[in-house]
A and B are shown apart, each in its own frame.
Chain A
Amino acid sequence: MKKIAIVAALAVTLFGCRGKDNLFVNPNSPVLGTSATMLTEIEVATINSFEGDINRTGSIYIQHHVGTNLGQGQEAQEYAITQLEQDNNWTQLYATMNNCKLLKENFGATRPYYDGITSILMAMNLGLLTDTYGDAPYSESLVGDVNLYPKFDPQESIYVAIQGLLDDAITKLATAPADNLETPGADMIYAGDPAMWTKAAYTLKARYLNRLSNKPGYDKAAVLDALSKGISSSDGDAMGPHDAASGQNQWYAFQNARTNYLVACETLVDSMQLRPNDLRLYYYFDSTGFGGVVGSPVAATTTSASPFGAYLAGGAATPTPLVTYTEAKFIEAEVKARMGDASTATTLNDAIQASAAKVTGGVYNGVNIATYTAATATLSRVMYEKWIAMYGQTEAYSDYRRTGVPKLIPNPEAALPTIPGRFPMSQQERTSNPNTISLPVTTPVWWAQ
């Protein structure tokens, strides 16, 4: 008996002591990140949100791609995606913004560059959120159990907040390096360069100001002003980097995991083939095995069509465009067209050439298609060219909803007679927040009305 008691006591001492703190405190996770690790997470999540499901679904809606009957893409093809399927997207956008908020709260005061970059990324996430879902919680959001039922802010006020974040970012990025306890060396987009980020912030300002083209108070001069301080060449593009390890390009990964769920759409392919030698087509889509690029019809889809090409999904490490010079030039062309500006055609041709060079990696300059004149460079042609040039970016779906260009014929076999004007509300938000505003997907978002 005595022996056993000794053994028991020994066991208690031996094992009871080991990792005493770890009995109470999780040994696996910290209670707060560092500014560097948090910024990395925010950038990775932002890149992923702009590259992932929202982008793919929008690309089906605007007939860049077709969701074949192999898998989940078919639901988007039939305008039948569900609220449940939005939980991932919605949650990731808010989780990213939560990390932005925590980074700013914990490290912003002593690290203005971190603060500024984080504000820009937060503005991008907020923009993608409201463009996709319309009204959404912002002013009362991201406070955990302090407010479990944040109210939905109108999209109009979210747009004000986006501009506010970008203005704040520009101010913070203008501080002296010495004001920073730490500079964002781990930044994977611009390597922590405040000047580059400032330009991206201005281009984003132009993007979101220009989004209000249907609304009273739309300020064309402010758009042009922002553009003038924005990204001035393709070298300054904000690109989301990838690598072949844990940071794979998600178009590429999607094609591997969900082979031929999405293929080229006939609408885009035929449009680009209407004029000779728009070489971007062969970078947008992979022509291997088909003797050329083949698009699937919108109805009666087929998997015997071209998958993503080198531009979006050339390899695991292919970077993804977030904010580009091409976009800036197209915004400029649009504003000028709206103003009846004489230089519209020149700007549009510049935009097309910028796109051609960007997409083909400089192989093709696009001169043979950048042939617009004052007579032909109409607003609808600008938007049509932008629809082609913005292939693979979420902007294309927003532009279509805002301008109705090009005139797409909705899938006649779909569950709805029109192309959705928004995504369904997240099911989890709807079931967990009584303040949720959940509108039919046929209702356009505020700026598209």
Chain B
Amino acid sequence: MKRILTSLFILMAMASAQLSFAQTHVASGRVLGDDDQGIINAGVSVKGTTLGTVTDFDGNYKINVPDDARTLVIQATGYAKQEVTAAAGSRVVKMVREATSLRETVVTALGITREKRSLGYTQTTVSSADIERSGDQNTIEALAGKSAGILVTGSGGTPGASSQIILRGNGNMNGVVSQPLFVVDGIPIDNGTSQPVAGDYPYDQNLTGVNESNRGIDLNPNDIESVSILRGPAAAALYGINGGNGAIIITTKKGRFGKGAKKLGVDFSSTLEYDKVSNLPAVQNVFVQGTGGKYSTSTNQSFGPRADTSNIPIYDKYKNFFNTGVAYTNNLGLSWGTENSTFRIGLGNTKNTGVVPNSQLNRTTVNFRAESKLADYLSVGGDFNYTNTAGKRVQNGSNLGGIMLTLLRAPINYNVLDYQDALGNETQYFSAYDNPLFSANRNPYTDVTNRVFGNIHAALTLAKGLTLTNRLGVDQISTNAKQIFDISSVADDNNDGAGQINLYNSSSMSIYNDLILNYDHKLSKDVDLSGLLGFNYTYDGSQSTFSRGRNIQIPGIYQLSNTNDLYASSLEGYSRGQGAFGQVTLGYKSQLYLTATGRNDWTSSYGRNGQSFFYPNADLAWIFTDVLPKNSILNYGKIRAAYADAGTGPVGYLNHITFTQPFITDGYTNGVGFPYLGNQGFGPSNTLTDVNIKPQHVQSKEIGLELRMFHNRVTFEATGYYQLTLDNIIPLPIAPSTGFSAYYTNGGTSQNKGIELALSIDVLKSKDFKWSVYGNFTMDRSKVLSINPQVSNIPIGNGFSDIGSYSIVGQPVGVFYGTAWERDSTSGKILVDANGKAKVSAESKVIGNPNPDWTMGIGSNFSYKGLSFSFLWDIRHGGDVWNGTWARLNRLGVGAETVNRDQTYTIDGIYAPGTPKAGQINSTPVTGNYYYTTFQGDGGNFAVENSLQDGGWVRLRSVNLSYRFTFNKTTTHNFFDYLEVGFTGKNLLLFTDYKGVDPETSLTGATSAFRGYDYFNNPGVKSYLINVKLGL
């Protein structure tokens, strides 16, 4: 109350002051930066008074000055303070960069702002403008191509499908990929991707189900001010046990502290987006359903007669099925700031209906952020986010109701639009599969997530250079999901068309608190000492309930009470962590910086005895240009080196053996489960655990070079790194004859080494023209160095029976391992039997690598006055994708290639030893049927290696064209500050050799380490966005 009174008093005082200074004149002008562009939000104040204003978007100001005032003070971030005459009239003020203008600050671990020059590790900042240009509503996807050292892989084009991000390659040898921490305003929040799983479901739910969202989607990209990408443990060392995979540090927008007069800013943007389905597998349109050239509707094969000669009508299933997706996105930002207080409210809504009928995502976000300086020594602030994300998702992948599985396999004589009969039951082309349109319409998966996250923080200055900060954050998520398999759909668990309802409720709560004491002191003229000490407390708890009803009794009522076979399972998990950390930086003459960090973590996840783990880091930065003569070519140069060791997160409850209700199945049905005839059954878990298990961690060494040339017009950064992921927590496969099939233990080391390059050039930089180009390049090589003295080959999880992702000593992490052709050891050619058929090797082999050889982003921003044009090319070279879709479509006679089925083929191979013509070149032709169903398909004695394809691409990830009308609010009476109209295209061009959907695809979603699987994955999209923005 006291505070408000004071403000009122000041306000009144100001008003009366203005009244008493009846004699005023108008001083106006334009404040320009060193690039001759107007500086927005520069402070303009009348010296010796409280009067002041800020410049508009173009740097214009206009201020009423008392006649007796002599001087105006102009201030802008990064520039030296300037005083100009307060005389009437208009003038141009050219600002000069401060000597310390290279002292760019960036956001680092724990949300701590540091000078970039002092960092001994690499860091990339992605601005809100960059995020906006992507046109993506998923922040992770929006980062694709924008930084070296990141690998972003979306799951598909259905609304809300998850995106995976990996920094510096995947080093995890277990089933969870090494995704970084996701931190918003200092608080790590959940960016996981999970599928509801029944307690009695025996397989990897990710292989089937729907495309879930990574929970980072709950953050509205429009609320983001900047994203700081901390790659590797050196940058994320302060996160200790959780810092091993690096961190994505997001800072949300806030109001600006205004100098003098208060300023209310209103920004509104509205976007209309059209999505079209992108690449689709090529299918033949000549032969109809049947086998052996005979028409039959009792088969899933399209080896029937020609449609034209048999007079059977045919349909274009792609054209009939896919829609144009539409998305409406509206964002409103209100910001307000005074000298001491600011706030911002961001409201956002996006509503996206997808290319697959009935798929949609609807997200509403509320973001509120306020900061206030209560006193010279105390500032407080808070950040509150509420998100409601509601999805309607469609079946994906290896799923008898899967959209692509059922659509692609459909023969051309089947009209997918005829999806139901008079009773509302589905009509099928083959009894085992749903009709894709029926599945889309009647097997909906709806989910609603309500989420609240945010923090309150305070900083207390205890003495000069000594600050105590506390930040308390909460992340609370609750999700309700419902899956309906309507009566007659065969996608239900029993594949019997009886109808099924699954309900899933989960909630999780995380509490995160950092208490940090910061110290900054100049020891002598040349030596700076800064440091911090801190304590962290983390608590996570989660509960979930899965309930299921089978056999829907009365059509149209989708409640458990309307079923007669009920099942439920529930899970909970809790963990607590505490960490004590410290960091010391010694700076010498602002050119040499040595930083050391240490953090000790205690976690409840490894038993009661409170095991503790220590994580160190040291890095060194030297701005060597400070000792070189000043020159106009190289104006800034830094070399740096860092060493760090950080954990990749605790895993709970591993240190004791448990009894479970086992999944009992041979892999071809959903098996049997408990209760069985009303009886519960328990058996020992098939996983034996190491009682001494400890967290895995990443040890990294990196060196780097940063150069700026020609007055900062060329910026270059190169980093080389070598990382070891140690003590991998792996389910070590053990001989099942021990009674157990896996042994959870720390075993194995994997290595990632790589190069990250970034270059940006301001080609043109004049008053009206600006043209910059930038690029980044990443090459990461992973390799499994060891697993266990006895084991050199472990699966990453349960996959398909013919192909899996493995960690194999000497191979990159996550290689494809599966059935392969038997080959001649010298020529490498396929061995064929006497019938000319390819032989399958008795043992599985390494058949592909999902990790790209290298990735590159190349972009350019061009502007002329209000006109802006930019684009970003995203290149991924290499990286195999298993095209299980292609193989199966060939086998079924659907694939485009199978149109030449009536020919014979001679496999390029050599007769196998033991055949009459052993060693000779194969000359025995095989039938087209064998060739497509087996050699190029997945039927009979096939080798899955036939369907590993290059998943590399060159894509125009985004292209933007916009025009901004700026209104001079100061001199005229315009209502608007600016009005901008723009166009954005996403993925408009895609060049790839991959024979299927857009190879940026993932069957298993963002969290899974099964990378590069395409088995009837939902397709990607290309998008056209029209955007209108205005500011008041």
Contact = CB atoms under 8 A, between A and B. Distances in A.
Interface in A193-222: none
B970 interface: no
A80 B736 contact: no
Given A22-B574, A70-B300, A427 B844 contact: yes
B470 A246 contact: no
Contacts of B298: 260, 303-304
A25 B571 CA distance: 13
A80 B494 contact: no
A390 B379 CA distance: 83
A137 B737 contact: yes
Interface string A100-126: 011000000000000000000000000
A33 B685 CA distance: 11
A366 B571 CA distance: 54
A289 to B, nearest CB: 8
A40 B681 contact: yes
Interface in A80-104: 80, 82-85, 87-92, 94-99, 101-102
A36 B679 CA distance: 9
Interface in A1-23: 1, 4-5, 7-8, 11-12, 15-16, 18-19, 22-23
Nearest to B567: A246
B737 A80 contact: no
Interface in B711-757: 733-741, 743
Given A80-B940, A82-B844, A145 B672 contact: no
Contacts of A254: 668-669
Contacts of B574: 18-19, 22-23, 27
B737 A15 contact: no
Contacts of B460: 1
Nearest to A302: B291
Nearest to B456: A4
B565 A432 contact: no
Nearest to B671: A48
A368 interface: no
Interface stretch (A146-154, A163-171, A175-183): A146-154
Which of B460, B470, B939 lies at the interface centre, i.e. has the most chain A CB atoms within 10 A of its CB?
A: B939
Given A98-B684, A246-B675, A28 B572 contact: yes
Contacts of A136: 737
A72 B677 CA distance: 30
B579 to A, nearest CB: 14
B675 A15 contact: no
Interface in B659-715: 659-662, 664-677, 679-686, 688
B470 A137 contact: no
A367 to B, nearest CB: 36
B456 A245 contact: no
A142 B739 contact: yes
Given A150-B738, A188-B677, A302-B291, A30 B682 contact: yes
Interface string A413-449: 0010000000000111101111010000000000000
Contacts of B400: 257
B790 interface: yes
Contacts of B737: 94, 136-137, 141-142, 150, 429, 433
B668 A53 contact: yes
A404 B460 CA distance: 89
A52 B670 CA distance: 12
B604 A24 contact: yes
B470 A429 contact: no
Given A41-B683, A75-B941, A78-B940, A246 B674 contact: yes
Nearest to A249: B672
B920 interface: no
A380 to B, nearest CB: 33
A426 B843 CA distance: 11
Interface in A217-260: 241-248, 250, 253-254, 256-260
Contact of B682 (A16, A41, A150): A41
A32 interface: yes
Interface in A305-345: 316
Contacts of A304: 296, 298
B320 interface: no
Which of B460, B573, B740, B818 lies at the interface centre, i.e. has the most chain A CB atoms within 10 A of its CB?
A: B740
B475 to A, nearest CB: 12
A41 B200 contact: no
Nearest to A136: B737
Given A29-B659, A84-B801, A247-B676, A37 B431 contact: no
A433 B736 CA distance: 9
A25 to B, nearest CB: 7
Nearest to A253: B669
B299 interface: yes
Contacts of A83: 842-844
Given A25-B653, A95-B741, A253-B494, A149 B735 contact: yes
A67 to B, nearest CB: 9
A144 interface: yes
A42 interface: yes
B941 A40 contact: no
Contacts of A149: 735, 790
Given A8-B513, A45-B662, A137 B735 contact: yes
A122 B1028 CA distance: 72
Q: Chain A interface: which size bin?
A: 35 or more
A72 B668 contact: yes
B791 interface: yes
B366 interface: no
A431 B817 CA distance: 14
Given A25-B653, A25-B656, A246-B672, A428 B741 contact: yes
Given A11-B513, A102-B684, A26 B658 contact: yes
B680 A97 contact: no
Given A40-B680, A44-B681, A15 B539 contact: yes
Contact of A428 (B300, B733, B941): B733
A434 B789 CA distance: 12
B887 to A, nearest CB: 13
B608 A433 contact: no
Contacts of A23: 574-576, 604
A65 to B, nearest CB: 13
A419 B300 CA distance: 29
Contact of A250 (B551, B672, B842): B672
A250 B460 CA distance: 68
A241 B679 CA distance: 12
Given A1-B458, A52-B666, A250-B672, A74 B939 contact: yes
Interface string B364-380: 00000000000000100
Given A48-B665, A94-B739, A85 B456 contact: no
B470 A53 contact: no
B291 A4 contact: no
Given A42-B681, A53-B667, 12 more contacts: A15-B511, A22-B572, A44-B681, A72-B668, A77-B940, A96-B683, A142-B738, A246-B675, A257-B432, A415-B840, A428-B735, A432-B791
Interface of B: 200, 291, 296, 298-300, 378, 400, 430-432, 456-458, 460, 468, 470, 472, 490, 494-496, 509, 511, 513, 515, 537, 539, 541, 550-551, 565, 567, 571-576, 604, 607-608, 652-653, 656-662, 664-677, 679-686, 688, 733-741, 743, 790-791, 793, 801-802, 818-819, 833, 839-840, 842-844, 891, 933, 939-941
5 contacts: A11-B513, A30-B658, A40-B682, A256-B490, A303-B299
Interface of A: 1, 4-5, 7-8, 11-12, 15-16, 18-19, 22-34, 36-38, 40-42, 44-45, 47-48, 52-54, 56, 69-70, 72, 74-75, 77-78, 80, 82-85, 87-92, 94-99, 101-102, 136-137, 141-145, 147-150, 186, 188, 241-248, 250, 253-254, 256-261, 302-304, 316, 415, 426-429, 431-434, 436
7 nearest interchain CB pairs? A98-B739, A33-B682, A41-B681, A433-B735, A29-B658, A52-B666, A53-B666
